[in-house]
């Protein structure tokens, strides 16, 4: 059994599944965004350890012990049922569910492509990456990670205005209440007018 973890609208998965079907490969495409609102998971333990792990989704009961490989592409975040209306309650459900799923995936002793979610998530942490790269002998650019506006201005001056900016995680930001993709970009001089906004969240600045 191949378990595919990705959003239901992922066009990449739609290109792959016909090939799996042509090979008569059994698979389940599961989006964690369906849990716990539209999917159920049962995990049982006995004195000596795990007894059962069952995923109920899309009218199917899947014994997770039969999973031989997992392709984790772009899984959505868990979602509370629509009946849960309070935002703080929805957040609690989402965080509890995510913690549960993180632990559940770690119990699957199988091949992961590209890696288990916890391992993949560690790949996003630019703060630790820079320290690790330097300790291994790589040359890293001068970098400042801060939410101090004055320190940002000083660093901009030290680098003679030759700076790029990155977000800490995932590559998206909010502007005027809307979500926007955010990629590595050159800091333009005109952006210095809004330098005080640095105080709201840590940013990554590199020469």
Condensed to tens digits (0 to 9), the pLDDT of residues 58-111 reads 899 999 999 999 999 999 999 999 999 899 899 999 999 999 999 999 999 999
Q: Which fold has domain 2-121?
A: Rossmann fold (3.40.50)
The partner residues of 146 in beta bridges, in order of sequence, read 203
Residue-range domain boundaries for the chain: 2-121, 126-206
Which one is predicted more confidently, 175 or 165?
Answer: 165
Cβ atoms of 46 and 20 within 8 Å: the answer is no
Nearest Cα residue to 206 out of 147, 149, 162, 160: 162
Cβ atoms of 125 and 115 within 8 Å: the answer is no
User: CA 96 → CA 15, 89, 141, distances in Å?
Assistant: 32, 11, 38
Nearest Cα residue to 167 out of 140, 137, 139, 127: 127
- pTM exceeds 0.75, yes or no: no
d(CA 13, CA 74): 10
């Amino acid at each position: 059994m191949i378990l595919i973890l990705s959003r239901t609208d992922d066009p990449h998965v739609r290109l792959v599944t016909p090939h799996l079907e042509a090979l008569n490969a059994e698979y389940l495409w599961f989006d964690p965004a369906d849990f716990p609102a539209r999917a159920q998971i049962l995990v049982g333990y006995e004195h000596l350890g795990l007894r059962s792990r069952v995923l109920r989704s899309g009218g199917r009961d899947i014994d997770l012990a039969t999973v031989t490989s997992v392709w984790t592409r772009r899984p959505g975040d868990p979602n509370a049922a629509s009946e849960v209306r309070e935002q703080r309650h929805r957040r609690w459900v989402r965080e509890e569910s995510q913690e549960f799923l993180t632990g559940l995936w770690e119990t699957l002793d199988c091949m992961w492509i590209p890696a288990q979610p916890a391992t993949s998530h560690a790949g996003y942490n630019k703060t630790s990456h820079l320290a690790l790269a330097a300790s291994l002998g790589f040359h890293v650019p001068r970098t400042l990670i801060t939410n101090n506006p004055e320190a940002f201005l000083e660093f901009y001056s030290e680098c003679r205005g030759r700076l790029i900016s990155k977000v800490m995680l995932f590559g998206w930001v909010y502007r005027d209440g809307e979500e926007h993709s955010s990629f590595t970009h050159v800091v333009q001089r005109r952006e210095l007018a809004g330098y005080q906004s640095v105080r709201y969240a840590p940013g990554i600045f590199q020469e």
